Amino acid sequence: MSDPAPVDSDLRVEVASCLASAMHLASVGFLDVAAGYTLSDAPRERLSFDLPVVNVVWRLDGDRVDAQFPFVVDISATREGNSEEIARLAVTVFISYLGASKFSVDDLRHFVGVSGFMHAWPYLRAEAQSLTTKIGLPPLLLPLIVSGAVPSKVAVGLPLVVAGSPKPELPAKKRAKRAKPVKAGKKAQRKKKS
């Protein structure tokens, strides 16, 4: 596996670890599983892969946290020093946790990024091995990941907020001005005619 460019991540494993005993894994599933293969005469025995940084999408709904981990695995074959991409796997793992109401949004962001990635990774590993076999390649076995390596592989922003959940505070520079609502319907049409 080639190491991706370092991510300027402020995710802290120690914060995620502190929340681990209070957060409860409610469910794990797949939202998307796909494999694409390019016909190639490249030797199939010498495969490598690249895993771009995973941009996690998550939402906070009262006591519940839902997170999506959209993994993409690019598979290449190397021949005579030249590398050629021959397949791409896309696997989106969906994870839900309970116990979120006890913690700040920032602490939950660390938990989702580190612990969520660690919970999703074995599901990606199993699917990658299965999908490569199904498309006629040797089974791709992704490596084990330790928690200390996770911050360089994942990016986690602010959560999407569902009605009834506290809204996270945005930094002042990211606040956008709201546009005035446009009037519609018969009342607006009558005013326009006047």
* Confidence (pTM): 0.77
Roughly how many angstroms between the first and final C-alpha of the chain, as a whole number?
A: 69
- Domain membership of residue 5 (yes or no) is no
- Domain membership of residue 181 (yes or no) is no
Q: How far apart are CA 134 and CA 158, in angstroms?
A: 37
Buried b (16+ CB within 10 A) or exposed e, 40-67: eebeeeebebbbeebebbbbbbeebbbb
pLDDT in tens, 64-123: 999 999 999 999 987 777 788 999 999 999 999 999 999 999 999 999 999 999 999 999
Average pLDDT of the chain to the nearest whole number: 82
Helix (H) or strand (E) holding 97: strand 82-98
pLDDT above 60 (res 189): no
Q: Identify the domain containing residue 33 by its residue range.
A: 13-169
Q: How far apart are CA 16 and CA 103, in angstroms?
A: 11
CATH code, 151: 3.10.420.10
- If you ran DSSP here, which 8-state letter would residue 143 be given? P
- Domain membership of residue 101 (yes or no) is yes
CB atoms within 10 A of CB 167: 10
- Domain membership of residue 94 (yes or no) is yes
- Domain membership of residue 24 (yes or no) is yes
- Domain membership of residue 56 (yes or no) is yes
- Domain membership of residue 116 (yes or no) is yes
Tokens for 180, please give them: 């005035």
| Average pLDDT value for residue range 171-194 | 47
Specify the number of domains making up the chain. 1
- Domain membership of residue 186 (yes or no) is no
| 105 against 185, higher pLDDT | 105
- If you ran DSSP here, which 8-state letter would residue 81 be given? T
The values of phi and psi at residue 52, to 5°, are: -60, 160
Beta strands at 47-50 and 64-79: parallel, antiparallel or unpaired? antiparallel
